[in-house]
Structure 1
Amino acid sequence: MAADPPARGPARPPGAATGPARPAGAVAGPAATAPATGRAARRGRRTGWWRRKSLRFRLTAVASAVLAVALAASAYVLVGVLGRALIAGTDDAIHQRARQVVSLADAGRLPVEMTSPDGVLVQVIDAAGRITHATPGTDRLLPLLDAGERATAIARGGAGFVDGGPYGIPHVLRVRVLSADQGRTVIAARPFSEVQTSVNTAAHVLLVGTPLLLVLLAGVSWVIVGGTLRPIAALRRGAEEITDTARSRRLPVPESRDEVHSLAVTLNDMLARLEKADARQRALVSDAAHELRSPLASIRLQLEVALGHPEGQDWRETAEGVLEDTMRLARLAEDLLALARLDERGGALARREPVELDRLVPQTVERYGEAVTVRVAPTPGDAIMVTGDALDLGRVLVNLVDNALRHTVSPVVVELRTEGTGAVLTVTDDGSGIPEADRERVFDRFTRLDSARSRDHGGAGLGLAIVRETVHAHGGAVTLEDAAPGLRAVVRLPLS
């Protein structure tokens, strides 16, 4: 056994370091990551180029690519099927001709001069290998197949190809061999050039016609896609014309009842909702500014009078007046903030937690003392439990009680009971009540009846609006009913 070749270079002592060690799992340096980064950048540029193209171009390109693949596959299949069909027809023709000659040979009725009206070449070979009969155009001395090839062809039982050049026939021949009586053999052949010509002609036609058909179909796709996307372009132009000064404009709706029609209808509905929300916000800002102007003007007037005549001014009375207007501003700011939070949540609850109404109601009205009477109907079993936000529900009750106290003469009555699967909370006063025609209108923001406007502490008209939106967020409903005399606010909430 040959010894191992000596190591090249100076020997290193055992344990010597061969260079700075790379920790396991360390990432390769910039040289290793550069090719991957380059490939990713090129792929990103190609993808970005495709995405920057118009939707019409991309749809037409994809449709044309699919059509090109389909046409190419169809042309390939067509040429293949045509070739096989022509070969099968040729094989049938030479087989029929060979069988006919075999029948004549077996019957001893072969003509001296054979003809080939169908273009099939025939040779009849006896047991000694001599050609006894042949059609014009074939060699009368040399068989197309020797004895071994004839035996193989008979055993195979099918047609084969033979080069006709050595026999003075400038074509490739399709040959079939059958055996006859007395050891004779019949060879039938037909030039294959007809099949080749037909297949080549079909291939050339498809080679020229397929690109032309593809161009035609691509053009038709371009026109159809353009017509399909035309309503979308109209939607885009319509959207460009809508500005903050023309909010009532709507997008054009196509006549066809397709997806674009549904999109246009949906967008117009969205614009209507946005217009309604915008009008609501503008009305809120306008009403809020109107409500803010009155206490601010009062504060300014009191301060200007006090500063203009300081010697005859009762500063305590001035401070009380300014404090009263300031508290009015604070209540308005709190109401506006509550409405803004309700609008921001879109009717959803800030918190969802179990709330015991039979405990919340007495605790909330406890601060009113003898001005409010609480009646909680006893319920067997569990407490009166709902799901929601305890703070918001407490604000609902406070707003209803404050509103009732501004109009009542006797103590306000607060009742809580259950009805079926819901809890019913009522706040009843014996004031002048509200006409039935105005009982829905008072739930609108900044809506106050004339009797309320004449009061100094009538509020800004936001209390009932906050009540309704909060109750709706809890899945309930609030209505106003005639208490004869007075008014009854009824709040219905689903039990947990």
Structure 2
Amino acid sequence: MAESPLVWWRRQGLRFRLTAAAAAVLALALALSASVLLSVLERTLMQTVGDATRAQAQAVRVAADAGTLTNPITTHDGTIVQVIDASGRITHVTYGTDRLVPLLSAAAREKVLATGEATLLDGRPYAISGFLLAVVLRADRGQTVVAARPIGEIQTSLATAGRVLLVGTPALIVLLAVASWLMIGRTLRPITLLRRGAAEITHTARSRRLPVPQSRDEVHSLATTLNDMLARLEEAEQRQRALVSDAAHELRSPLASIRLQLEVALGHPDGQDWRETAEGVLEDTLRLSRLAEDLLALARLDERGGVPARREPVDLDEVVRRTVDRYAGVRLSACEPVVVRGDALDLGRVLTNLLDNAVRHTTSKVEVALTADGLLTVADDGPGIPEDDRERVFNRFTRLDSGRSRDEGGTGLGLAIVRETVRAHGGTVTLEDAGPGLRAVVRLPVAG
């Protein structure tokens, strides 16, 4: 089955299509221009000949009215003139003009006189090759002046101009097509370089960038945008590799601890306290479980691309009350009604992670407050975090030295999960000095 012209056209290269489109538009424009040129040229030449013929006829009419006509009538531009009296008899003519048959019949003369316009007539019946442009004027005493002039020169000029256009137009179209092909090829060269550069970028050359042209045009903007995209992809890949590396490092410690405890227990079964061994293995297993849950939560956040799992009205005050009730010694100082849009489980996890950190580091008290403008704060009176480290602790697997030294320390993913979740809900989270202690401040947009 033969493919349609539209399908064939779409399968051609951009350079060919642009060149063909430019040539087609030029061909149409030149054809219209040539047609208009010939039309205007013909009208102008005919108007010029008509004006000259009318002027000659006017001069003859003036002489006829004055009675000073000579026979034959003398003209200097080859105009043919006949003077016809009231009875239809030809009285005066130019040299070589028919003295018996008028150029125009009486009815034709009256029609031209009525319109006032020149008329075309075939000169062959009068032994004149080609067509004539005739003008009729009325003189005194019923006389009529008929003046005509051959337009063979006009036809020859128009034919010559037509032949020149017929030969020159295709040549001009071909010349423009070649120029367009070269110019479009030069214009598309940066895109070709971009394609080659993209083909050379592999997983082993992640830091490569696409060539950026010097011209400040759309291709420059495209190359810059693609390089920015490559930088973001490289950064995301680096984060992913760092996450895998850190996760492997975090998994290695509890697994090594479990293996060591089991090897010692199996190596000395008689003197082993199996309950103590089981408790140690259970503790490491719980640590692995928490790490797996945190990694799964981060993976889901990354998979959703910064969008919460659900967007439904959530009574944040109820989430806060239920979460705080699970912690002994945590005081709820304020809990005003607040409705936000998002996922209740994710928001509960945010508060849980903040409370876990606060309880782990507090000295005596932890306070939670929720105001009607969507401001949630969790404060403790622990050692706090130095101002220079308050932003860094939101990175994945980041734990300060004080956190590393604690047996009940976290995985270093809690605050990272908090920030990613809050951002997905359109909010922000920051750490402030509570004097003494640390205050986590979460701002969430209230549902309208």
* Structure 1 and Structure 2 fold alike (TM over 0.5): yes
Q: Where does residue 406 of structure 1 map in the other structure?
A: 360
Identity fraction in percent: 68
Report the CA distance between 1:306 and its aligned residue. Answer: 2.6
Q: Where does residue 441 of structure 1 map in the other structure?
A: 392
Given that 2:335 and 2:369 are in contact with CA atoms closer than 8 Å, whether structure 1 keeps it comes out as: no
* Aligned-partner residue type, residue 413 of structure 1: V
Given that 1:160 and 1:174 are in contact with CA atoms closer than 8 Å, whether structure 2 keeps it comes out as: yes
Q: Where does residue 299 of structure 1 map in the other structure?
A: 258
Q: Where does residue 375 of structure 2 map in the other structure?
A: 423
Distance in 2 (alpha carbons) for counterparts of 1:417 and 1:392: 17
The one of 114, 124, 129 aligned to 1:170: 129
Report the CA distance between 1:230 and its aligned residue. Answer: 1.6
Matched, 1:96 2:49: no
Report the CA distance between 1:377 and its aligned residue. Answer: 2.2
CA RMSD, Structure 1 to Structure 2 (Å)? 2.0
Counterpart of 2:361 in 1: which secondary structure? coil
* Aligned-partner residue type, residue 369 of structure 2: L
The one of 216, 234, 238 aligned to 1:275: 234
* Aligned-partner residue type, residue 189 of structure 2: R
Given that 1:298 and 1:325 are in contact with CA atoms closer than 8 Å, whether structure 2 keeps it comes out as: yes
Q: Where does residue 33 of structure 1 map in the other structure?
A: none
Matched, 1:483 2:440: no
Q: Relative to 1, partners in 2 of residues 1:234 and 1:61: Cα closer, same or farther, differing over 3 Å?
A: same
Q: Where does residue 223 of structure 1 map in the other structure?
A: 182
Report the CA distance between 1:156 and its aligned residue. Answer: 4.0
- Relative to the length of structure 1, the TM-score reads 0.85
Matched, 1:374 2:331: yes
Report the CA distance between 1:378 and its aligned residue. Answer: 6.1
Report the CA distance between 1:256 and its aligned residue. Answer: 1.9
Given that 2:135 and 2:148 are in contact with CA atoms closer than 8 Å, whether structure 1 keeps it comes out as: yes
Q: Relative to 1, partners in 2 of residues 1:187 and 1:385: Cα closer, same or farther, differing over 3 Å?
A: closer
Given that 1:295 and 1:325 are in contact with CA atoms closer than 8 Å, whether structure 2 keeps it comes out as: yes
Matches within 5 A, 1:3-152: 42=2, 44-152=3-111
Report the CA distance between 1:361 and its aligned residue. Answer: 1.9
Q: Where does residue 423 of structure 2 map in the other structure?
A: 472
Unaligned runs of 5+ in 2: none
Deviations 1:104-158 (A, max 9, x none): 0110111234222111111222334433322223223333234444344334433
Unaligned runs of 5+ in 1: 1-40
Q: Relative to 1, partners in 2 of residues 1:394 and 1:129: Cα closer, same or farther, differing over 3 Å?
A: closer
Tell which deviates more after alignment, 93-102 or 110-119. Answer: 110-119
Report the CA distance between 1:329 and its aligned residue. Answer: 0.8
Matched, 1:461 2:386: no
Q: Relative to 1, partners in 2 of residues 1:168 and 1:436: Cα closer, same or farther, differing over 3 Å?
A: closer
* Aligned-partner residue type, residue 338 of structure 2: I
Given that 2:335 and 2:371 are in contact with CA atoms closer than 8 Å, whether structure 1 keeps it comes out as: no
Deviations 1:151-198 (A, max 9, x none): 443344332222222322223222222222223222211112111111
Given that 2:309 and 2:343 are in contact with CA atoms closer than 8 Å, whether structure 1 keeps it comes out as: yes
Distance in 2 (alpha carbons) for counterparts of 1:69 and 1:453: 79
Distance in 2 (alpha carbons) for counterparts of 1:398 and 1:221: 67
Report the CA distance between 1:336 and its aligned residue. Answer: 0.5
Count of aligned residue pairs for this structure pair: 447
* Aligned-partner residue type, residue 377 of structure 1: A
Counterpart of 2:95 in 1: which secondary structure? coil
Matches within 5 A, 1:337-352: 337-352=296-311
Counterpart of 2:362 in 1: which secondary structure? coil
- Relative to the length of structure 2, the TM-score reads 0.94
The one of 177, 180, 183 aligned to 2:139: 180
Q: Where does residue 397 of structure 1 map in the other structure?
A: 351
Given that 2:338 and 2:374 are in contact with CA atoms closer than 8 Å, whether structure 1 keeps it comes out as: no
Deviations 1:222-241 (A, max 9, x none): 22222221221121122122
Distance in 2 (alpha carbons) for counterparts of 1:492 and 1:162: 95
* Aligned-partner residue type, residue 406 of structure 1: R
Distance in 2 (alpha carbons) for counterparts of 1:459 and 1:149: 114
Q: Relative to 1, partners in 2 of residues 1:159 and 1:453: Cα closer, same or farther, differing over 3 Å?
A: same
* Aligned-partner residue type, residue 383 of structure 2: S
Distance in 1 (alpha carbons) for counterparts of 2:197 and 2:68: 92
